[in-house]
Chains A and B, each alone.
Chain A
């Protein structure tokens, strides 16, 4: 088998056995959901409802006039309890709409309202915009922004790499909803005028590769690309490089490289938004960790508090644990359990103290070059970390700090346990400021 990959990167224990064999099941809806008005990259929505209003499942409750935005919808039927600041998984507080469930219908009714053969670009874009579609793999760019005809785009690249440890939701989706995935890809491909679809999957998911191969083997415009099991294979730039061989220079948007990259979850959700008019009100997440009694891949409502999800999965004692929304390499540790999962949340991972980095204090860089060896961006995290720690931002910039994708490999392999990503994140806005003032 021809297995593709990129230079650098690392094999990280992937801990997927907790959930990779668990079929997707639905979690019962929570009594209360917290729907942030900003769940994507871009401008926040304005609330369309106020406290006391009745809302129905799937009803649009926030929208914006801005181009870079995506509306949000009620993920349960009930009464708006409050519109106010709540902690969101990306850190900090944002305006959220809090809905209390009532005894109205709590499941969205799936009725076919469009024929997949008769959807043009304009209609497709309208559907994904109205459905509030955003990237569901992490980056959370509003999907409709990417949907436009661009003759240079010849390739639709579906991201099924799922390189983060623990996460298996995309894996299960590819197996269980392969049909919708391919239909969704076809819809997307037709509407943007792409000539082929590549589906990139790491080879540790042979059953998913098989399921999709079964569907595309007779098509000459779709192909599964087997990817080596290596973190961060699923990062956009590295997926493009591995699957198409194209270089990804800084600042270049993927469309300029002739590619549109789409997460598998987003592709399926886009299809459902077009054909059934179902907005993005729920998604599949992986709930996992060694202490989770019922780990699995669950369909959860957007806005479900983490506490509700963990309770349903039989997690009790969380003292000194880390609760991470997203994958353990790039996700964020949450301060409490009232944080909601949002459109881009891929998982809720519970890490016991002995698994996290907290068991050791960080030290000075000993220049072992492990980070240099593994950096997928070909950077020098050792130098960057020394300069960024000392706030020597000009020197850090010289060593290409701004190219860092914050994948976390450097900190993972660092024998001195240096929080390199943390310093990079702190340095980026400072360097941006300097870059702007130079212009």
Chain B
């Protein structure tokens, strides 16, 4: 053996598990394929176009902000694409594409990159982008006309004009059968069409161990109990609006949810409480998005308060002597 061979020296551990940030993000992307497919099935080109616009905008935005911050782009980590897909799924099919694009730009550029990049953002980027558009809506009244010539006409889609189940629920209209609501019932945002498709994706995330039961269960249980107390059928609430995608995909976001087990339970339950307050007391729409964003802000405090004791922490025992 020669002495010139270059040995690698670096700190332990020397083995590394196979999972990477990219592989995990790609898994979440894959988990969203069923719901995206259902959306495209019902809304055809509208849905496909909206998703495409958001994906492209997400990538371009990341490239731009990485360049401005003189950082290396990380498109391969799937994080920007994932945010883009999430944003698209939060809009209705006929949303003007520039609105979705601006939401994506805000999500990836401001809510993520300017916060320090993936890992440092305190708020769920996709929800941040979506809610920013709601808050900016009055402004759009002035500028909508400028964008009007950019509208793309993709023909008529019948189901688009249908009232959303959530609106029907709030208006006290007669609801479609629960089974149909669960399977697929067009209306509302792309992600609200099929709770079943979302659950299939969520099952995949459980299987791949990217999410745990704590947040979805505590959130859904809180909603069920409170709506039951309010004298309503909880299932209608669970299967309508953004509750499903919120519980399984948004509130479980790694970066913006607690990392303590007890913290996750509190986080989920608080979101559930807020959602019910919003739905029953305030505006019927986008309650889930606001609820999650509000709780995002509390995550560091929840984690700090809910820290588990270290293995070495002396157990408090009744003093014998």
Contact = CB atoms under 8 A, between A and B. Distances in A.
Interface of A: 7-8, 12-13, 165, 237, 241, 247-251, 307, 310-311, 315-324, 328-337, 349, 351, 353, 355-360, 363-370, 372, 376-380, 382-383, 399-400, 403, 406, 408-409, 411-417, 419, 421-422, 425
A412 B13 contact: yes
Given A311-B1, A323-B7, A364-B116, 11 more contacts: A318-B5, A330-B12, A333-B8, A363-B74, A366-B119, A367-B257, A369-B254, A380-B259, A400-B310, A409-B13, A412-B17
Contacts of B6: 319-320
B16 A360 contact: yes
B14 interface: yes
B15 A356 contact: yes
A378 B254 CA distance: 19
Contacts of A425: 11
Contact of A366 (B11, B14, B21, B308): B21
Contacts of B259: 367, 369, 372, 380, 382-383
A167 to B, nearest CB: 13
B21 A363 contact: yes
A378 B13 contact: no
Contacts of B174: none
A421 B11 CA distance: 8
Contacts of A357: 10, 13-16
B207 interface: no
Contacts of A411: 13, 16
Interface string B291-310: 00000000000010001111
B8 A321 contact: yes
Interface of A is mostly: loop
Nearest to A337: B1
Contacts of A317: 5
A305 to B, nearest CB: 11
Contacts of A310: 1
14 contacts: A165-B15, A250-B312, A311-B1, A316-B1, A329-B14, A331-B12, A335-B9, A337-B1, A351-B14, A356-B10, A363-B77, A379-B311, A383-B303, A408-B13
A376 B311 contact: yes
Contact of B5 (A13, A319, A364): A319
Given A318-B1, A353-B8, A249 B314 contact: yes
A415 B307 contact: no
Contact of B312 (A249, A333, A359, A406): A249
B255 interface: yes
Interface string B248-266: 0000001101011000000
A147 B113 CA distance: 59
What 6 A-B pairs have minimum CB-CB distances, sorted nearest first?
A408-B13, A250-B312, A422-B11, A364-B119, A249-B314, A357-B16
Identify which of B17, B74, B255, B309 gathers the most chain A CB atoms within 10 Å of its CB.
B17
B311 A378 contact: yes
B234 interface: no
Interface string B1-38: 10101111111111111011101100000000000000
A273 B254 CA distance: 55
B158 interface: no
Nearest to A401: B310
Contacts of B119: 363-367, 416
